[in-house]
């Protein structure tokens, strides 16, 4: 086999006159200075020191045509646009706007040259790198290239390990003592790897994340990813195998550490089982390719980089240990287990004993719609999270926020379209009496601000909440969140009332606050009473509550953080569905599908005096990107008819849950309003709430791939509150899992 005539493997690197090269750089880039040669296998690389500035000058192999440079330049621009946190160089244009120029070597051969921005750092020693971080970096680079395409990326590249069988004719260039080992690898590759490659994920990848192509700082943090000469469209897992093989070639612990690199990669981009099963064979293929290519180049050109000895040593090591044996150590469960254990330890060191959702921590790495992906490769149906109201990673929100972040993201004291449009759209969904919007960052901040407005407007300091409510984490909203008190007595200025359906208890609460001198400033109500046990709809109760608090001179605050954005299926806002005369409305993070944006909406007579007297302003609240995300949410809810969808799917889910509960005495009551549903769990023998049994059901559903939560005073109520894009198919999956639990 001979290499293609334009293959850089068969064409010597450029033979350059440095004075002529410097003259070309000065002519086209107006840069002067000193050139320092750098490492390059097929190309010629130089550091150009021009005063205080540094650049990388790269003269490509004469075999590289303009399409190759266009591929690399396009990829670099793509990466800098979609993943600015990845440290890749930029192309410095010539004075007339070109990306590269043609230079002539001393032997008359022509090469393309360009200038790149300089990246600081040094090449790491293989023994002194964080293997998992290396794997994560490889995965981040791959994810950033996932949407990139270019015609030149499909040209066959002999360094693409997928093409290993094409190198078999080069066995004749290998010494006799190595040939048999290479034949074993080639035979195995053709029998076990080639047949499954066509069904693997494929895309454009870097294909050469070796220590010689990566820069780090003194703390070993990656500061640069350099050579993109091996970019190609190939099987995704080949990129990981190449990175692992090249990194481990110089390490003392060698192949035993391969799983660490794969675990880091897997934590960012979960690998499929078939991909995991190929890693060891693909690493062996990379080592075999290094030996074969080096031998052929030595035979044809009399010289090649000395990379084959280490590669062959690793290959022999793999064959001695057994490729199957090494592959068996790289399995998704074991990788995920090690990664999760280390993450739990790090979390405890950083956060202390803050609660996690499950007895066995659930290590999530990705979300799409109503599906969450765990580090061990398992998929989970999300029937719990209300914040991503449109589902995880909704493309409309991602696109809107990303585009705005790439354009402008600043505070709302500047004149901008997005905050004004958002306020107008919100007001258009509410009764006419609402005409003011204050933008903040979270539901807690919104409720805190509503409380300040209520105190300012009424002159009173007393507040009322339901017995097990939750309204936030600030000092003010914590006072309205008995769910968080762990049984402590209410603050002096707070009174609690029973949630529906029982009697309201407002008379006593108002009487006590009046007698204590606090008076009534505000009542906070979550329209679906989520923390009290998901008790909505309760229209008569909420209307009576509003009347009682108004009679006492206070304000009714409709906390729509959990109840709003169409969750109830009757209206965008639960209090509007109940015709409750609320005074202030608070919204939280579902407003931006998880992007930090929230709002307080009220009437000018309440809001304007407060703003004037307090000079109120939130720097980050109403930031441009946050408003773009919130607008995308409102548009999507309207365009996709998600309010009506929530009603229809919620009715199906309510019926399905009641069917499961039939004949199950431990499931004593099922209720719901749109896509906010609850199932009470009791001890069948006593009929009393059974928190332990409810916990076992939640854990059992997790084992069956479904996520829900618990709520209520006794923590004995199953809380089901999925993103609004839940479908009938998901309902059936949840119901089946619950029936089996």
Q: Find the helix or strand (DSSP H, E) in which 659 lies.
A: helix 642-661
Q: Find the helix or strand (DSSP H, E) in which 729 lies.
A: helix 728-739
Q: In whole angstroms, give the CA distance from residue 485 to residue 479.
A: 9
Q: Residue 455: which region, alpha, beta or left (left: phi > 0; alpha: psi -120 to 50)?
A: alpha
Report how far Cα 288 is from the mean position of its chain's Cα atoms.
36
Residue pLDDT, tens place only, 545-559 = 999 999 999 999 999
Tokens of 79: 């990466």
Tell me what pLDDT residue 306 has: 62
Nearest CA to 487 out of 711, 682, 714 is that of: 714
Tokens of 196: 């499954």
Adjacency order of strands within the sheet including 676-681 = 667-673, 676-681, 717-720, 709-711
Residue pLDDT, tens place only, 571-621 = 999 999 999 999 999 999 999 999 999 999 999 999 999 999 999 988 888
Alpha helices in 322-474, H assignment, sequence order:
323-329, 332-351, 395-405, 417-428, 443-458
Say if residues 174 and 201 touch (Cβ distance below 8 Å): no
Alpha helices in 157-272, H assignment, sequence order:
176-188, 236-248, 258-268
Tell me what pLDDT residue 3 has: 47
Tell me what pLDDT residue 541 has: 95
| Residue 209 to residues 85, 137, 219, 727, Cα–Cα distance (Å) | 17, 9, 19, 42
Tokens of 347: 């979390």
Phi and psi for 199 in degrees, rounded to 5?
A: -100, 5
Residue pLDDT, tens place only, 448-504 = 999 999 999 999 999 999 999 999 999 999 999 999 998 899 999 999 999 998 777
CA angle 428, 436, 415 (to 5 degrees): 95
Nearest CA to 249 out of 331, 335, 317, 174 is that of: 317
What's the burial of 489, exposed, middle or buried (CB within 10 Å: 0-12/13-18/19+)?
exposed
Q: In whole angstroms, give the CA distance from residue 391 to residue 573.
A: 19
Tell me what pLDDT residue 374 has: 83
Q: In whole angstroms, give the CA distance from residue 562 to residue 470.
A: 10
Q: In whole angstroms, give the CA distance from residue 108 to residue 106.
A: 5
Say if residues 648 and 618 touch (Cβ distance below 8 Å): no
Tell me what pLDDT residue 327 has: 82
Tokens of 716: 């004995």
Tell me what pLDDT residue 354 has: 78
- Three-class SS of residue 136? helix
Q: In whole angstroms, give the CA distance from residue 57 to residue 511.
A: 81
Phi and psi for 549 in degrees, rounded to 5?
A: -70, -35
Nearest CA to 520 out of 469, 462, 477, 600 is that of: 462
Say if residues 513 and 520 touch (Cβ distance below 8 Å): yes
Phi and psi for 349 in degrees, rounded to 5?
A: -60, -35
Tell me what pLDDT residue 569 has: 97
DSSP 8-state class, residue 193:
I
Extended strands (E) in 417-516: 436-440, 463-466, 494-497
List, for the chain, all residue ranges whose pLDDT scores fall below the cut of 70.
Answer: 1-10, 302-307, 331-339, 377
Q: In whole angstroms, give the CA distance from residue 605 to residue 280.
A: 70
């Amino acid at each position: 086999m001979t290499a293609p005539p334009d293959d850089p493997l068969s064409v010597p690197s450029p033979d350059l006159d440095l004075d002529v090269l410097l003259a070309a750089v000065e002519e086209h880039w107006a840069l002067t200075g000193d050139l320092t040669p750098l490492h390059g296998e097929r190309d010629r690389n130089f550091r150009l020191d021009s005063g205080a500035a540094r650049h990388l000058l790269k003269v490509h192999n004469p075999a590289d045509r303009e399409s190759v440079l266009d591929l690399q330049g396009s990829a670099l621009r793509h990466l800098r646009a979609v993943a600015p946190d990845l440290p890749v160089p930029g192309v410095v244009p010539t004075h007339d706007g070109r990306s590269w120029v043609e230079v002539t070597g001393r032997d008359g051969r022509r090469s393309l040259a360009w200038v790149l921005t300089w990246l600081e750092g040094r090449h790491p020693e293989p023994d002194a790198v964080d293997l998992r971080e290396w794997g994560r970096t490889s995965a981040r680079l791959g994810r950033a290239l996932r949407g990139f395409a270019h015609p030149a990326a499909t040209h066959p590249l002999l360094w693409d390990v997928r093409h290993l069988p094409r190198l078999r004719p080069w066995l004749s260039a290998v010494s006799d003592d190595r040939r048999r080992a290479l034949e074993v690898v080639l035979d195995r590759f053709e029998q076990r790897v080639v047949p499954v490659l066509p069904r693997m994920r494929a895309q454009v990848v870097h294909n050469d994340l070796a220590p010689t192509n990566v820069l780090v700082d003194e703390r070993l943090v990656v500061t640069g990813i350099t050579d993109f000469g091996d970019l190609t469209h190939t099987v995704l897992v080949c990129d990981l195998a190449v990175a692992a093989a090249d990194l481990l070639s110089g390490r003392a612990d060698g192949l035993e550490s391969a799983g660490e690199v794969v675990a880091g990669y897997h934590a960012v981009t979960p690998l499929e089982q078939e991909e995991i099963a190929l890693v060891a064979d693909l690493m062996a293929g990379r080592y075999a390719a290094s030996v074969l290519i080096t031998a052929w180049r030595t035979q044809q050109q009399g010289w090649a980089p000395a990379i084959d000895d280490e590669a062959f040593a690793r290959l022999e090591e793999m064959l001695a240990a057994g490729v199957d044996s090494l592959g068996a150590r790289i399995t998704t469960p074991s990788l995920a287990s090690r990664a999760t254990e280390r993450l739990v330890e790090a979390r405890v060191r950083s956060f202390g004993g803050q609660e996690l959702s499950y007895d066995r921590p659930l290590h999530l790495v990705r979300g799409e719609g109503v599906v969450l992906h765990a580090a061990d490769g398992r998929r989970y149906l999300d029937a719990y999270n209300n914040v991503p109201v449109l589902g995880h990673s909704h493309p409309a929100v991602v696109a809107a926020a990303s585009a705005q972040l790439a354009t402008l993201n600043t505070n709302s004291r500047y004149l901008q379209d997005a905050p004004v449009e958002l306020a107008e759209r919100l007001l258009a969904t509410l009764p006419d009496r609402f005409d003011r919007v204050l933008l903040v960052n979270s539901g807690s901040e919104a409720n805190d601000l509503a409380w300040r407005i209520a105190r300012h407007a009424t002159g009173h300091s007393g507040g009322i909440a339901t017995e097990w409510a939750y309204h936030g984490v600030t000092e003010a909203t914590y006072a309205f969140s008995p769910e968080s008190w762990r049984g402590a007595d209410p603050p002096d200025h707070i009174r609690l009332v029973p949630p529906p359906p029982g009697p309201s208890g407002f008379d006593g609460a108002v009487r006590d606050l009046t007698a204590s001198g606090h008076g009534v400033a505000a009542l906070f109500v979550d329209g679906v009473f989520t923390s009290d046990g998901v008790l909505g709809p309760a229209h008569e109760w909420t209307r009576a509550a509003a009347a009682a608090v108004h009679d006492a001179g206070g304000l009714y605050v409709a906390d729509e953080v959990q109840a709003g954005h169409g969750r109830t299926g009757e209206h965008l806002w639960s209090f509007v569905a109940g015709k409750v005369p609320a005074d202030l409305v608070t919204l939280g993070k579902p407003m931006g599908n998880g992007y930090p944006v929230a709002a307080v909406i009220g009437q000018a007579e309440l809001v304007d005096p407060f703003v004037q007297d307090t000079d109120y302003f939130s720097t980050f609240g109403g930031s441009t990107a946050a408003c773009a995300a919130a607008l995308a949410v409102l548009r999507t809810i309207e365009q996709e008819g998600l309010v009506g969808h929530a009603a229809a799917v919620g009715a199906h889910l309510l019926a399905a849950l009641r069917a499961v509960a039939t004949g199950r005495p431990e499931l004593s009551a099922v209720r719901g309003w749109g896509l906010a549903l609850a199932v009470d769990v009791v001890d069948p023998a006593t009929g009393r709430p059974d928190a332990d049994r409810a916990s076992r059901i939640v854990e059992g559903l997790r084992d069956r791939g479904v996520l829900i939560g618990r709520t209520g005073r006794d923590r004995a109520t199953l809380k089901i509150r999925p993103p609004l894009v839940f479908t009938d198919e998901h309902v059936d999956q949840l119901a089946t899992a619950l029936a089996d639990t």
